[in-house]
Amino acid sequence: MEDRAALLSTFQASFFAMTRLSPLHWERLRGELEKDKSPELIAAILKKLEQMCLEPLDELYEGLAGVLSDQKSEDCYKTYLLPGGGAVTLTESVALVSQGTTGLVTWEAGLHLAEWAGEHLEAFSGRVVLELGCGVGLTGLVVCRGCSPSRYVFSDFHPSVLRRLRANLELNGLGEGPAGGADGGGVVRVEELDWESVSEERLREIGADTVIASDVVYDPDLLPGLVRLLSLVLSCSSPEAPQVFICSPIRNPDTYNSFKRQLEAAGVGHEVIRGAGRQVLSYHRASAIEMMQLTLHTQ
């Protein structure tokens, strides 16, 4: 019974998050569903796909994408079930690049960072957290739900991303202002930050104790502005510098190594955080992902 509950729970979490489910034991799942008799529609779909010799979820998602296309919608809903109960629901683009940005979808590193945060509450609980390049808001929503920051500042620069972010915050009951209760854990703010021009004064006004970012090391042209911002974050705070954590998939080693070299040239050190955390959110880990903590070199 326990195995069955775990199997169905995995199916539920993965389906709502719209992840590939091909690794699941489909024969076992269909058998359990047929025993129960209540989810007859799902059992019928699986049986029909099996008869057609098709990969179940890939074909199912293609069908759903076709429906979305027929409705001329560029968006979809994804729901991530949280380990402590509850869920985060987001509207995202169905295309990886939309409206001139990659920020309208949730990427693997954002999910990885959200999981890491859940295992390192001391870096977030009761602290002012600033997220750089927050995208549609998944990481911050999970942190606000489970890590109790005193204030959480979502930041991005692209206007379409900021509009979608605000919509997702409201969708999850976390509009700007007092978030209220254990779910919100403080005040939620949205900031438009340009990495190349943001001032020391503005960073001091935000007053972050913890700064996080995920999947921001992907475009060589953006690295100088990112390194400038990270250097400012570490140097202009008082009485002590915030903790800074960067989570990155290593898609292009040349770009990633260039980022590290530019950090060193700016006087910023990095330490790789070893050990993969427990996967608690439903997504497919296709890329090597590295977590690092940044510190300012002392003279």
- Among the ranges given (32-41, 92-101, 155-164), the one the predictor scored with the smallest mean pLDDT: 32-41
pLDDT at 179 over 50: no
pLDDT at 183 over 60: no
The DSSP string of 256-277 is HHHHHHHHHHTTEEEEEE-SPP
> For residues 248-270, b (16+ Cβ closer than 10 Å) or e, as one string?
bbeeeeebbeebbebbeebebeb
pLDDT-derived band at 123, boundaries 50, 70, 90: very high
What is the distance between the alpha carbons of residues 189 and 200, in angstroms, rounded to a whole number? 18
pLDDT at 206 over 90: yes
pLDDT at 242 over 50: yes
pLDDT of 240: 83
pLDDT at 163 over 60: yes
Tell which residue, 193, 264, 201, has the closest CA to residue 231.
Answer: 264
Q: Which of 20-24, 55-59, 204-208 has the highest mean pLDDT?
A: 204-208
pLDDT of 41: 46
How distant is the alpha carbon of residue 262 from its chain centre?
25
157-161 average pLDDT score: 90
212-224 average pLDDT score: 94
Structure tokens at 209: 């104790």
Amino acid identity of residue 3, one-letter, is D
Helix and strand element counts for the chain (H, E): 11, 10
Look up the CATH number of domain 84-296: 3.40.50.150
Tell which residue, 110, 106, 142, has the closest CA to residue 124.
Answer: 142
Which one has a higher pLDDT value, 10 or 249?
A: 249
Strand 289-296 versus strand 268-273 pairing type:
antiparallel
Domain coordinates in residue numbering, the chain: 2-70, 84-296
- Residue 264's φ and ψ, nearest 5 degrees, are -60, -40
Tell which residue, 213, 294, 210, 285, has the closest CA to residue 260.
Answer: 294
Q: What is the CA radius of gyration of the chain?
A: 21
DSSP structure class, residue 176: S
Q: Do residues 149 and 127 lie in contact, with contact meaning Cβ atoms separated by under 8 Å?
A: yes
180-190 average pLDDT score: 61
